[in-house]
Amino acid sequence: MASEQQLPVVKGARVLMVGAGGIGCELLKTLALSGFEDIHIVDMDTIEVSNLNRQFLFRQHHVGQSKAKVARDAVLKFRPHISITPHHANVKSPEFNVDFFKQFNVVLNGLDNLDARRHVNRLCLAAEVPLVESGTTGFLGQVTVHVKGKTECYECQPKPAPKTYPVCTITSTPSKFVHCIVWAKELLFAKLFGDKNQDNDLNARSSHSDSSTDPIEDIFERRLDEDPEQYGRKIYDHVFGYNIESALANKETWKNRNMPKPIYSRDVLLNSSSQQNGVFNDFRTDSSVVSAMTSLGLKNSQEIWSLVDNTRVFLESLKLFMEKREKDIGNLVFDKDDQLAVEFVTAAANIRASSFGIPPHSLFEAKGIAGNIVHAVATTNAIIAGLIVIEAIKVLQNDARNYRMTYCVEHPLRKMLLMPVEPFERSKSCYVCSETALLLEVNIHKTKLKDFIEKIVKRKLGMNCPMVMQGSTLIYEEGDDLEDDVAGSYALNVEKVFAQLPAPITSGTILMVEDLQQELSCNINVKHRDVFDEEKEHDQMVLTGWTPAPPAEDGVGATNGGEAAADVREPDEVATAPERSAVVVGNKRKLSEISADSSVQRENENDGVSCKEMPAEVVDDGEDDLVMLDDGAWEVGKKPRSSLQ
């Protein structure tokens, strides 16, 4: 419960909570027990069985119900006099606009993805409502405070990105199981069940072609006379057999590497994929269950399958996709919660691993790698939730001098489990809160407007409903209320290259990009460029002036088709802490003091912790979901901490 001094401001506050998952459940409970009486919750998710081991407001009979609504009902049982309003919806929905955010005294985030976090950050800036951010993964976590005009915004600092791997490693020379997972997930699964027109290195010449003059057969095209079993074996033999044999032809590649072994289905299975040791096995008892494991009688997801079992699962899962989920084929994207997809990727990765002499993994382990899962720790969520409430109370009291970014570390440093640091001033180069112009290098004769919208405006700048203007000319806009003729003209524009637009975009053009929902606008200076590095700049668009994640040490950004490096994080690979130049935890010091004796390690002042021991920021919500840790230095010494008055 808040102290007597804090209670009036706590009771009178209206709080918006975004996210009712791992952190959210603990946060709602702590808010209620601390004296808050007017709380709104926004969460679009429903309860899953896997949530029950750490989200203690939920029970078995709640599975499938709204998290926001069930969390409300659970808390009202022990705090019946308070007001909790649940919203089972996406926080990016138009109903949650700037006016909606202006109702609240503080916003508390417990989200699990960067896109939604950035959206909330922008709405809070526009509404001038303080934001308290948070994240956890395993034993790590942090809470940060963002107040317009007093601290940096959430997007002032570069945000972490998944680790990436070069295409050549994934397609030709895998050495780790994660490489096989990326190949199975980003290349094979995407090619078979996603966009059929995407091109990647799986499209090698089929061994069925008689000569180099024959048309190259699209091995992934299913012939009319092929049943699912035949088609599955054809794919199997091509990707695990013929493609490996083709790779072995390049002797130079294998001078200092172990040579892989081609694997063909006829060598693994004596008769058919549904037989083992001459006995026919068919365990399908429930036609509604679309699972290769169920069909084949494999029950233990933590058991490592043999090559025979992996082959059977591969063929069975492919057959089930064609027979039971034919309508989905062509539009599927890998989802860790899709059992059949996980089975297929696990089997494919294990078969490829066997070919390259890499130890196989169980489905449970493979799912963790493919889904970027690091299992949540309920205690960490509870600690972080408590810290959120502490910072929220400071915000409500306008106690800016005592705002803190607090990190929870796995291994106590200087006998400290929690490490508080003063917030920093906003970055002058932040395009979100400082209105700094960006620079975009493109080939104006090749780059289409739709690529700019999707890859730059939406993906990198995080806008949802963008509007693009050149001077006074509106060249693109999104919205449900557009007239048909206007929408039609924009549809024509997106297929045109920059130089051919009605208002041509040339080198030196300044574009104004705006998202009315987020009340965010920024200017982008366009510069023409003819040549790009195909490996590192595969989009042929280079945006500078924003704050991207630190580059991975051996790859570039990911695409679904795997044309660039694929992105995935190994669960046992945790990023090292970034160095924060001359920052000492727990000490309030001016920038001039930091600069004057940056060479001195202040480990004994108030038992402080040096910058070299600062933890990395995490962006998870305690939901066993995507984990992305910061791999780069933050260069804090180049920008002052906020002067909080």
Annotated binding-site residues for ATP read 19-24, 43, 51-54, 67, 112-117
CA distance 609 to 597: 16
275-313 pLDDT, tens per residue? 443 333 444 444 455 899 999 999 899 999 999 999 999
Please, what is the average pLDDT of the chain? 79
What is the CA 177 to chain-centroid distance, rounded? Answer: 21
Annotated binding-site residues for Zn(2+) read 153, 156, 430, 433
> Parallel, antiparallel, or unpaired: how do β-strands 541-544 and 164-165 relate?
unpaired
Instruction: Output the pLDDT for position 351.
Output: 96
92-110: b or e for each residue (b if 16 or more CB lie within 10 Å)? beeebbbebbeebbbbbbb
Q: Which own/partner pairs from 484-489 qualify as long-range (CB within 8 Å, at least 24 positions apart)?
A: none
CA distance 331 to 317: 17
Q: Which of 25, 124, 168, 611 is catalytic?
A: 168
Residues whose CB falls within 8 Å of the CB of residue 469, separated by 6 or more in sequence, listed in order:
475, 511, 512, 513, 514
Per DSSP, the chain holds a count of helices (H) and strands (E) of 19, 18
> Parallel, antiparallel, or unpaired: how do β-strands 416-421 and 520-528 relate?
unpaired
- Residues of the chain short of pLDDT 70, as ranges, are 1-2, 160-164, 196-217, 271-289, 413, 546-645
What is the CA 31 to chain-centroid distance, rounded? Answer: 28
Judged on CB neighbours under 10 Å (0-12, 13-18, 19+), 408 is buried
Count CB neighbours of 581 within 10 A: 16
Instruction: Output the pLDDT for position 621.
Output: 64
Q: Following CA atoms 349, 355, 361, 364 in sequence, which dihedral angle do they give, to the nearest 10 degrees?
A: 20
CA distance 368 to 377: 15
DSSP lists the bridge partners of residue 419 as 407
Packed helices 307-324 and 339-355: angle between N→C axes, nearest 10 degrees? 140
Domains of the chain: 1-162+373-433+550-645 (3.40.50.720), 177-357 (1.10.10.520), 437-545 (3.10.290.20)
- 3-state SS assignment for residue 511: strand
> Parallel, antiparallel, or unpaired: how do β-strands 83-87 and 106-109 relate?
unpaired
Instruction: Output the pLDDT for position 622.
Output: 63
The single residue listed with the structure tokens 């993994």 is 361
Q: Are residues 39 and 31 in contact, defined by beta-carbon separation less than 8 angstroms?
A: yes
CA distance 148 to 126: 9
Instruction: Output the pLDDT for position 411.
Output: 75
Quote the tokens at residue 68.
């926001």
Quote the tokens at residue 357.
């002499």
What are the φ and ψ backbone dihedral angles of 115, each rounded to 5 degrees?
Answer: -60, -50
CA distance 486 to 130: 38
Packed helices 22-33 and 67-76: angle between N→C axes, nearest 10 degrees? 30
* Closest C-alpha among 274, 290, 188, 273 to residue 233: 273
Instruction: Output the pLDDT for position 31.
Output: 97
CA distance 271 to 239: 20
Annotated binding-site residues read 19-24, 43, 51-54, 67, 112-117, 153, 156, 430, 433
Sheet holding 140-146, edge to edge: 83-87, 38-42, 14-18, 106-109, 131-137, 140-146, 405-413, 416-421
Q: Are residues 427 and 156 in contact, defined by beta-carbon separation less than 8 angstroms?
A: yes
Instruction: Reply yes or no on whether 168 is catalytic.
Output: yes
